[in-house]
Structure 1
């Protein structure tokens, strides 16, 4: 720690970081919740939209996955722009544009419209999640980042807990209103939170600790010293060639690819799996689908706290990956048995969503500065190609075999490969 920075008692440090957490993370949680409604509602819209637009399982899977092509293309440029212009302006731009495009799904008439809008939605949303991941590194050192990010990432299961029954209710209640199917109202109404959050960002999201008046000068010096110490062993300067040749970057990208394969298997197909268990009513499907997401909230928070307290990252990533993979493989055995299906899907959902929260405590341990912006963006972009591959593969396999089981077994195999890849991450660099 630099000599001119006063030593601050741990009690004060805890209070400062707690203040930052509760000032920033609930709003970022709401933003991610709004974003993830787009991932939840397309799975529910499929229950009605597929017949009206003539979407086969293959066509739906391809359309759901096309989102991630646009998403991946703009990921790194988006993060570099945010690093330059600031989170307030850039995240507001992201949310407002994706809210507008999400609402336009209500007017889709053909599978081609579905394809085009999914691609444009990916372009609009690109950079949000990695942008927030980068933003958190401006405020929290590594040892405190997992707990802070857990608040952000529980938006994924909470969007399932609240979004699933909400989606079912909208589809039931508004079906036929003004001659529209319930799925059209679903897209239109669930675009509103993103627009609200985008406008609110201009007032709610400061760019850096130096910009706020709710931290004292001493607080800001302490945070700067903590971050400087945290970044001391990180790579902050390298050439583009060195960056692309960094084996750690490609290892983490491949690992995240495996993680995203499982994450979107649950996000896009959970309502279909609940329907296969015998639940055909949209509202009832939504209420039951909320149970696995609620269980995931608990697991994410417990493992995040444990990982930070023990300063251990690899086992806390491998555990949910293995749990999610095994549960996903077992889920076809429970088809037709609703209580057993819900139990198994709860473990699958908890594992497959918790792994995402745990993974993102690892990349910032390697890179700092502008290369953190590029690295987080690159890993997220490459990994999210799986967002295209996952629904595409499952949709193709389901159409070919007339069974969801083979597609889920494929995802399980990819997840287990990911578990093995975690062992290649140097423990010394990430366990802090």
Structure 2
């Protein structure tokens, strides 16, 4: 009892610097490996954009079949995302994330053996099933460790992997496809799928032994640090957060999410921002090729321009949103700016570099929208079947990965150009901005100082 009293007194007198030092320790312990894992997650799902430049001739499929193959991943992902997140709530993050990484690595590597569009459909569907639950699982996992006022920053760092993948992974993919083409009788696209899948299998095994399911189970935190962390999280939730939680892994939790309008509002915000992201990842290499660049390695390096500007937007908007503890206008202005740049790119008739910069500024907007959108669910749904709720938001938002490639493919086939495709994505972004302004309540978009 005396020890508990002493600990309580010590916690009451703890400085802000000590809290920040602890949170910084958590950041450096947890985030690097999750960032690397998400890097390969995104690379393995979008490297088909570069593979298309060789695969299409080798296998023989149309733009519409490619769009279906790129998007069918998200059907498997959507159907199995909630079950995966519920399983994580039961067995813990360590086993769940390791299982996801190892299985999706095997599926991604197996893509090197496809010889028809049907086989490609099947493996892309399988890849989505195996990868399902990874991102919402990570978002839920981070909510165990970091208070709400840090989640914009933490989420922006994590989601930065979606842009680091094409910035770093794109040129690597291009070089592999160029220099390994024909080696040992395999195409460059086959080597790319194999070499980019193997690392995630290893990372999955590392996560199995490295991660800790919950802060209170961590052996690398002292007892005092665990108590301080609990205080930080309790203070962040506030003394009046006494909501009775429905079990995160019960059927009632899932049904509650299906009936919760907030889930659909939050999902629409991420869906619209993701439309720009997936449109870029699946079609930008093809668009650059149509600008007159034929060498695959050169295409991958030119693609760095828009993806780098998108990364700047993600970091800048995420940090600004956290600093000002505000979400509504950071999201709205980012999305409207991105939509305006998308429209400008659609009608630009000048040089290629300027058009890539304009597309990059569009990426600045929708990437800022992505990070702000993902800073909301863990706080807004807190105490309300969080695990199933975050998974449901992710499931619905992820369907943009099916919608965006499809709408771009359809518009390209109908019009023969990219203009209508870019304008369609811009319209979705404007609609989401209006949803944020008029339908998302103030308590969801302003983070109070706890």
Q: Which bracket does the TM-score occupy, shorter chain normalised? A: over 0.9
- Choose which of 55, 58, 61 in structure 2 pairs with 1:52: 58
2:173 corresponds to 1:167: yes
Q: Which moved more, 1:337-346 or 1:240-249?
A: 240-249
Task: Name stretches of at least 5 consecutive residues in structure 1 with no aligned partner.
Answer: none
1:236 deviates by 5.4
TM-score, scaled relative to structure 2: 0.92
Q: Which residue does 2:311 correspond to in 1?
A: 297
Which of 130, 138, 144 aligns to 2:136? It is 130
CA distance in 2, matches of 1:243, 1:100: 32
Residue 112 (structure 2) aligns with: 106
Tell me if 1:144 matches 2:158.
Answer: no
Structure-2 change in CA distance of 1:425 and 1:18 (3 Å): same
Choose the corresponding residue for 1:221, options 221, 227, 251.
Answer: 227
C-alpha deviation, 1:243, in angstroms: 3.4
Moved more, 234-243 or 15-24: 234-243
Between 59-68 and 248-257, the greater mean CA deviation after superposition: 248-257
Is the 8 Å Cα contact of residues 346 and 420 (structure 2) preserved in structure 1? no
Of the three residues 377, 381, 384, the one matched with 1:363 is: 377
Separation (CA, whole Å) in 1 of partners of 2:346 and 2:330? 27
Q: For the aligned residues, what is the CA RMSD?
A: 1.8
Other-structure match for 1:425: 440
Distance 2:162 2:268 in 1: 22
Structure 1 partner of 2:245: 237
What does residue 364 of structure 2 align with?
350
Q: How many residues align?
A: 431
Matched with 2:71 is 65
Maintained 8 Å contact 1:59/1:111: yes
| Equivalent residue, structure 1, for 2:280 | 266
Instruction: Label 1:170 to 1:334 Cα distance change in 2 as closer, same or farther (>3 A).
Output: farther
Residue 384 of structure 1 corresponds to: 398
**Deviation digits for residues 127-173 of structure 1 (CA, Å, limit 9, x no counterpart):** 00000000000001101111112221111111111011101101100
Task: Check conservation: 1:236, 1:371, Cα contact below 8 A.
Answer: no
- Measured in 2, the distance between the counterparts of 1:43 and 1:234 equals 48
Per the alignment, residue 102 of structure 2 pairs with 96
Tell me how far apart the structure 2 counterparts of residues 352 and 429 of structure 1 sit (CA, whole Å): 20
| Aligned residue in 2 for 1:332 | 346
What are the residue-to-residue correspondences of 1:153-232 with 2, within 5 Å? 153-232=159-238
State yes or no: 1:287 paired with 2:301. yes
> Which stretch of structure 1 is more off in the superposition, 3-12 or 205-214?
3-12
Q: Deviations over 1:391-414 (max 9, x none)?
A: 112112212221122112111111
1:336 shift after superposition: 6.5
Q: Which shows bigger deviation, 105-114 or 239-248?
A: 239-248
Q: What do residues 339-375 of structure 1 show as CA deviations (whole Å, max 9, x unaligned)?
A: 1122112112222223212211111112235711000
Match of 1:307 in 2: 321
Q: Is the 8 A contact 2:270 2:369 kept in 1?
A: no
Contact 1:161 1:289 in 2 (8 A): yes
Cα shift readout 1:10-30 (whole Å, capped 9, x = no counterpart): 000010001100111111100
TM-score of the aligned structures, taking structure 1 as reference length: 0.95
When residues 302 and 254 of structure 1 are mapped into structure 2, their CA distance, relative to the original with a 3 A threshold, is closer
Contact kept? 1:59, 1:395, Cα under 8 Å: no
Show the 5 A alignment for 1:21-36: 21-36=27-42
Q: Indicate how the Cα distance of structure 1 residues 236 and 413 shifts in structure 2: closer, same or farther if over 3 A, else same.
A: farther
- The CA distance in 2 between the partners of 1:245 and 1:89, in whole Å, is 30
Q: How far apart are the structure 2 equivalents of 1:242 and 1:83?
A: 16
* Equivalent pair of 1:277/1:335 in contact (CA under 8 Å): no
Decide which of 81, 89, 93 is 1:87's aligned counterpart: 93
**Which has the higher mean CA deviation after the structures are superposed, 211-220 or 306-315?**
211-220
Q: Could you tell which deviates more after superposition, 70-79 or 404-413?
A: 404-413
* Mapped contact 2:257–2:388 kept (Cα < 8 A): no
